[in-house]
Chains A and B, each alone.
Chain A
Amino acid sequence: MWYMTEEREMLVKMLREFAEKEIRPAVPEMEKGAYPRELLKKLGQLGLLGLVVGEEYGGSGEDWISYGLMLEEFAKVSSTFALLTDLSSDITIGLIHKYCTPEQVEMFVKPALRGDILLSFYSTEPCGIFNVSEYETRAVLDGDEWVINGGKIFSTNSDVADVNIIACVTADKVDPVTQEGISWFAIPASDPGYSVGHIENKLGWKGSHTGQVYLNDCRVPRNYQIGPLNKGVPLLTANLVPGYCAYGAFALGSMEAVFAKTKGYLQGRIQGGKSLWDTHQVIRNDMANMWILIENFRGAVFSALENRNRGENIFNQAIGLKVEGEKLMEHVASQCIELHGGVGTVYETGIERFYRDAKMLSVGCGSNKTLVDLLSYFI
């Protein structure tokens, strides 16, 4: 592929080995809801959590294509683990590191990059993720401490993170036009006012814990406020949205995995002395059509990642990748289940979880319907 270099070939080889030896054995437990904390720590020790974080912040200082390759390889084994990797790297560290003071880099960024602490990052309230003007979680400065009250929903990593990066209202009112009035705070899970409520039993991404968080008089030092005061929304939109290209990478990996598994099954499943692959043109056509979709999507994913490497604005492309990635992943997984016949619906076959995880992409980290509406303003 045009984007492969000798270095990336070596990286991919290591990632594949890690995925097969470390992630695959953990999948059954993740599907029962276990959070793979030790594996994520290993990623930190290998420098993988900081692939796109500059060396001056403690990262590996590499590039977005390498990042995409990592998520693609992990998603071939577990879409859930690919998501958790993204959550532990770009969605948390990647979002905040440039806004952190040197002191905050030492307190939060570098330990998170090493895998010593786990960060979470969330803002969703019952009003929705992007309706920031209706947020009710509020931080008030009391001397040298911020006092935070409120709550969040669909907060991923809420029960496992050591430090939670949370959006709070810090102005009297959030301006509905400029969206000024939101700021970000690092709230340790050990704060007496921080408590976790119900963890949702979701359709997919089982190993990712998402639930409610209650903030009752949480008190954090003044220097735990991250980024410019009242101007926290760009941190969300300017970084979170381009990060959707990562979702494209792990949708791609998942599709490749179910496609390969299905092709192997069809070529090995013998009926009447011949394989299904050889005897059913319809099956081969279905697979060929899926191959076209997957390979075209691959081009789109790595094109966006290369554009991001070049510093180009990929806001629109990234939304497209999340939206299209979910549709394709759902379609491919659905087709592959059918092509397996009855065994496709059986958990142990290893296909159905990709179908369930695909649906999560339609709503995780921003509903695709909202994103398409957002995109319509920019095209």
Chain B
Amino acid sequence: MSLKIAVCIKPVPDPECYDRITIDPIKKTLVRKDIPSVISSADKHALELAVQMRERHDGSISVFSMAPPEARAQLLEALAFGADDAYLLSDRRVGGADTLATSYALSALIQHVGHYDMILLGNESDDGATAHVPSQLGEWMSLPHMTDAVGVRVESDSAVLVDKEFETGIARYRVQLPCVIAVRKTINDVRYIPVKNFFAAKRKPLTVLGADDLALDNAYIGLNGSPTKPGELITPQYSRNTVPIEGTDEEIAQAIIDKIKIYM
């Protein structure tokens, strides 16, 4: 069975540069100037899954992202990884979006391009880590959706078997196609990209679209479409107040227990 697979990727600040990131105290957003971006790590595992499924079943892989224009670099990387084409929604009108507005825009982008058997993405991003987008995407697109996937296998033309990991174990679900599946990083090992792919990536189609190219409802995009508002920013104060505890070993141990109980 040939599969048309969509993979959503999110460019996030490079973890190597976390010590340089600051937060705008007024907008309460990350100041990302001069901070390089990388593909969110769980999304790379989604890409790896997509490539593995195409190797087993034939088909195609399209990559989607909603991000600033600089995200072209991450989409090129996804093309080098093995995607066949890439689509970037980049527009100030969709900027500042929370997860609901992001998932709405992504769903519009995917549906604008075509129909897909499977939409894969990472369970949660390295920066926001809300894990909202996969389920929201499924709801916007009226598709079955599964999160925390640690195994995916095609059962038939109409269904896949998904192993979902819980805190206490793994449950296997039969999910009808088309569907949205969010993967955990433990699902696979991400391959290194062969050299020749880097130099062939630019020959693959990479399309950048604006909000006007899609039939987007302004009420659901950008800041307008974001019911989640950042709260107050507080910098925790770290200081230590040293209080010597004296007495016998038993008295000292009891004093420590009493202190701990205060915070329980």
Contacts and interface: CB of A to CB of B under 8 A. Distances in A.
Whether chain B is bound by chain A comes out as: yes
Interface string B104-146: 0000000000000000000000000000000000000000000
Contacts of A45: 194
A51 B195 contact: yes
Nearest to B193: A14
Q: How large is the interface on B (under 10, 10 to 19, 20 to 34, 35 or more residues)?
A: 10 to 19
Nearest to B195: A47
A37 interface: no
A139 B195 CA distance: 39
Interface stretch (A2-10, A121-129, A222-230, A323-331): A2-10
A367 interface: no
A15 B77 CA distance: 13
A66 B194 CA distance: 13
Contact of B76 (A6, A17, A48): A6
Contacts of A18: 192
Interface stretch (B94-102, B167-175, B196-204): B196-204
B-side interface mostly: helix
Most buried by A among B76, B194, B199: B199
B93 to A, nearest CB: 27
Contact of A62 (B80, B193, B195): B195
A107 interface: no
B239 to A, nearest CB: 16
Chain A interface residue number, banded: 20 to 34
A346 interface: no
B198 A46 contact: no
Contact of A7 (B38, B192, B194, B198): B198
B77 A13 contact: yes
A267 to B, nearest CB: 11
A6 B195 contact: no
8 closest A-B pairs by beta carbon, nearest first, are: A47-B195, A60-B195, A10-B198, A7-B198, A47-B194, A11-B198, A7-B199, A46-B194
17 contacts: A6-B76, A6-B202, A7-B199, A7-B202, A8-B198, A10-B80, A10-B193, A13-B38, A14-B193, A42-B192, A45-B194, A46-B193, A46-B194, A46-B195, A47-B194, A60-B196, A61-B196
